[in-house]
């Protein structure tokens, strides 16, 4: 996550979050077509790097666009949705 913060300062927020999303999406696809447990483990690790970047960048972007007094509320909502998606996603399918 610290790498994404520095990257967003150097390359910009949009480029950095797009990189994280693309990394997550491609590694998700590769995880789905993995032929061995080793491949699945590697692709899931890369997927985690992308997911961590998405989460970090969402908080950075919220900090950029939301007023300081409202920032905690919005970051709390994002954190709650992130947590609920991990619980509800498998139930929904």
Alpha-carbon distance 10 to 6, whole Å? 6
Write out the two tokens for 28: 């998700």
Q: Which domain holds residue 37?
A: 2-92
Report the pLDDT averaged over residues 32-61: 96
What pLDDT digit, counting tens, does each position of 60-76 carry? 999 999 999 999 999 99
Per-residue burial over 2-28, b = 16 or more CB atoms within 10 Å of its CB, e = otherwise: eebeebbeeeeeeebbebbeebbeebe
SS3 state of residue 62:
helix
Report the pLDDT averaged over residues 17-38: 98
Our count of domains for the chain comes to: 1
* Cβ atoms within 10 Å, residue 43: 19
At residue 50, the pLDDT reads: 97
């Amino acid at each position: 996550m610290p790498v994404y913060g520095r990257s967003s300062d150097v390359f910009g927020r949009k480029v950095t979050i797009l990189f994280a999303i693309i990394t997550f999406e491609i590694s998700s696809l590769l995880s789905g077509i993995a032929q061995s447990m080793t491949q699945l483990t590697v692709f899931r690790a890369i997927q985690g790097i992308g997911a961590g970047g998405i989460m970090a960048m969402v908080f950075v972007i919220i900090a950029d666009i939301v007023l300081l007094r409202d920032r905690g509320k919005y970051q709390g909502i994002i954190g709650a949705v992130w947590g609920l998606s991990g619980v509800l996603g498998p139930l929904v399918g």
